[in-house]
Amino acid sequence: MLALTTCAALLLGPGPGQGPVMPEVRWEAPPGCPDEASVKAQIAALLARAPARTGQAPQVNLRVEALPGGRWRLDATITSREGQGRRSLEGDRCEALAEAAALLTAIAAAPELQQAAGPLPEEAPGSSVQEAPGGPAANQAAPGGPAGQDAPKGPAAGAEVPGSQAAVPEPAPGSPAEAPETGWPPGAEGELEPELPGAGTGQETRSGAPAPIRPRNPPKATLGLGAGIGAGALPGVSALLRAAVGLRGRHWSVALTQSFWLPRDLPAAGDQDVGGRMWLAATGVQGCGIVGKGRVEAPLCAGVAAGVLRGRGIGDLAASYRATSAWAAATVGPSLHVRVAPRVALTLGAELLVMLTRVRFEVAQAGEVCCSAPVGATGTLGVEVRLP
């Protein structure tokens, strides 16, 4: 095993007089990307084609992260004795960003490779790598680079690194310093952005000030108010009020709801002059999957609600008493949300209630007043506010 490792090091790493010193490379990438050994092998192959150099090798931190939509982002930080530079690239393939990272690192160690890579058009057909949004403007010199020098368009030509010197003429094809066949991924343009002295190692803005690190698409709090009608929990149709507080993501939401069915006077079955005043209060938990995006969304929700149904005797009674009974139901149904402002949406919802308990009230010697149906329904109209 030791012999194999030694042979690999001799093949991949430039020896004395064969090329510049290998930089200190730190590679971080998610699964599905080339590993650190592969990236270092690419760097060593590039440096083997450059003239030998003396001096301290730069330190290079390369970090790749996955972006929404199947894209990838590379953040490169190169530190040398002249200063520190940063650059960000985005691409459709992590392999292309790995090649870009290898070439960036090789140019940092051997600026002669900058000219060997050759200028490329600003936008190449089929390009898979581009400067990340918010990246620096093209062709700025990093610390230690020639001031005011106009560099040709192209990713390698514009990417001056700390300590780079004037480029040497392009070598003839077949010479040891000839650029690798893969070259720079087409369409990769941009600069290493200089950092301000004393700046942190975290994510930074173009001015060098630390930028806040925020999660992508964090869940938002929601507050909803509505009114509507319901049937089934009480005989006939009753008015109801509803409030909700919850969290929502891009395609989901959860909420805690509070419903109040307004009081209704119901006559007893055996005597119309007496009866009961009935009302319902229930708390529910609801989860939704959200279809659509933009102004119009269609959540499909399911949940469970539980509470108490209360009644009080009314009419020509010798004595009136209050009675309370537990109530519960499973709920399912669609709704429609139409956004009318950045954080405000109108809501229209419908629910099917499947009663888990059947409530029954009656007046002594007058018969039954109320009994819940096996199933019921609600319809509500309201407004939802999405908090920052």
Q: Could you report the per-residue pLDDT of 149-160, keeping only the tens digit for each?
A: 333 333 433 334
Q: Which range has the top average pLDDT, 49-58, 60-69, 104-113, 123-132?
A: 60-69
pLDDT at 178: 40
Tokens of 301: 């929700």
CATH code of residue 230? 2.40.160.20
Quick one: which of 243, 324, 335, 235 has its CA closest to 289? 335
pLDDT 10s digits, 280-319: 999 999 999 999 878 999 999 999 999 999 988 888 777 7
Whether residues 131 and 237 fall in one domain: no
Full residue range of the structural domain in which residue 86 is found: 2-194
How confident is the model over 248-258, as a mean pLDDT? 94
Within a domain: 83: yes
Within a domain: 199: no
Whether residues 298 and 172 fall in one domain: no
Tokens of 158: 């514009």
pLDDT at 52: 75
How confident is the model over 15-40, as a mean pLDDT? 80
Contact call for residues 341 and 301 (beta carbons, < 8 A): no
Q: Which residues contact 377 (CB under 8 A, 6 or more apart)?
A: 230, 231, 232, 350, 351, 352, 353
Amino acid at 346: L
Whether residues 8 and 147 fall in one domain: yes
pLDDT at 218: 86
- What does the alpha-carbon distance between residue 344 and residue 347 come to, in Å, rounded to a whole number? 10
Q: Which of 136, 159, 194 corresponds to the end of one domain?
A: 194
DSSP code of residue 179: P
Whether residues 25 and 146 fall in one domain: yes
How confident is the model over 15-28, as a mean pLDDT? 73
Q: Which of 194, 229, 253 corresponds to the end of one domain?
A: 194
Q: What is the mean pLDDT of the chain?
A: 74
Span between the terminal Cα atoms of the chain, in Å: 57
Tokens 């004595």, located at residue? 319
DSSP code of residue 188: -
Q: Work out whether strand 220-231 and strand 193-194 pair parallel, antiparallel, or are unpaired.
A: unpaired
Percent of the chain with pLDDT over 90: 29
Hey, how many other C-beta atoms are within 10 angstroms of the C-beta on 273?
Answer: 11
Whether residues 225 and 170 fall in one domain: no
How confident is the model over 231-242, as a mean pLDDT? 92
Quick one: which of 66, 188, 183 has its CA closest to 121? 188
CB half-sphere exposure, 187, CA atoms < 13 A = 16
Looking at the structure of the chain, the number of domains it has is: 2
pLDDT at 131: 64
Q: Which range has the top average pLDDT, 54-68, 200-214, 328-342, 349-363?
A: 328-342
Percent of the chain with pLDDT over 70: 68
Whether residues 140 and 239 fall in one domain: no
- What does the alpha-carbon distance between residue 157 and residue 193 come to, in Å, rounded to a whole number? 15
